[in-house]
Amino acid sequence: MHGKARRTLVVATTNPHKLTEIRGILTGLEWTVESIAAYSAGPPPEETGRTFAENARLKARHYGRLAPHLTVADDSGLEIDGLDGEPGIHSARFNGATYAEKFDIIYSRLRERGALASPARFVCAVAAAEGGRIVFEATGTIEGRVAEAPAGEGGFGYDPIFHVPRFNCTLAEVSAERKAAVSHRGQAFRRLREFMVSRGDPQQARPRTAGAARFTQ
């Protein structure tokens, strides 16, 4: 008797750290999780949205037309109250060629404003598409503050400067499992996981929007 065929989820990222994190959240499902690199070598779409959700949809539609499987894209970033919400949707493209440089700029600007340890949050919007049609959306948010100084070797991106009160340390100082349990991306992709489990024939999905999830401690 033949085993059940595995379905495929294509993740619209070439960032190996993000792909590993997402695979960890989705582990145990009878799905193969692949990078979009297997289907597209061209430039990414221009992120012209004004919100995380708009950019996630834009990327999901674009890559969903290129990959013959359910394709998920996320747009995420760090919003710092003391910087009027920056870097926000521009987190990946924020000033500085490296994250160390970005951190220096952020701390310099916060010192100028007398806003060190400013409240902040990570936001992650997720959208999944098939053939360019959005079939699922979700958002996750985790509240915290800017750490006194970068700390930790784990995680990636802005994790070393994001202090989580529940853990009394940065996201870069906790294990991947503990991070996924509370992080913005963990919240959003667990909702996607529920969607993947609940659907029957992958060709018969109907558009579905999950409510926003927020973790505050």
Look at residue 201 in the predicted model and tell me its pLDDT: 43
Using DSSP's 3-state secondary structure scheme, residue 122 falls into strand
Main-chain phi, psi angles of 78, to 5 degrees? -110, 125
Tokens of 112: 């100028």
Q: Which of 60, 54, 62, 94 is nearest to 77 (CA)?
A: 94
Distance of CA 115 to the CA centre of its chain: 26
| Under 8 Å between Cβ of 119 and 81 | yes
Helix H or strand E encompassing 145: strand 133-146
Helix H or strand E encompassing 196: helix 184-198
| Under 8 Å between Cβ of 14 and 35 | yes
Look at residue 43 in the predicted model and tell me its pLDDT: 86
Tokens of 78: 């760090």
* Distance, CA of 41 to CA of 130 (rounded, Å): 19
- Give the model confidence (pLDDT) of 125-150 as tens digits: 999 999 889 999 999 999 999 999 99
Average pLDDT of the residues of the chain: 90
pTM for this model (two decimals): 0.87
pLDDT beyond 80 at 104: yes
Strands 162-164 and 31-35: unpaired
Look at residue 206 in the predicted model and tell me its pLDDT: 47
Whose tokens are 């970005």? That residue is: 102
Triad 71, 77, 78: Cα angle to 5°: 160
**Which residue is catalytic, options 75, 84, 104, 201?**
75
pLDDT band, very low/low/confident/very high, at 213 (cuts 50, 70, 90): low
Q: Which of 89, 196, 187, 182 is nearest to 136 (CA)?
A: 196
Look at residue 191 in the predicted model and tell me its pLDDT: 96
| Percent share of the chain, pLDDT over 70 | 89
**Amino acid (one-letter) located at 101:** E
pLDDT beyond 80 at 88: yes
Look at residue 41 in the predicted model and tell me its pLDDT: 74
- Give the model confidence (pLDDT) of 1-33 as tens digits: 445 668 999 999 988 989 999 999 999 998 999
pLDDT beyond 70 at 211: no
Is 74 in the active site? no
Judged by average pLDDT, the poorest of 106-120, 174-188, 198-212 is 198-212
Look at residue 40 in the predicted model and tell me its pLDDT: 82
The residue-averaged pLDDT of 72-84 equals 97
CATH number of the structural domain 7-215:
3.90.950.10
Using DSSP's 3-state secondary structure scheme, residue 73 falls into strand
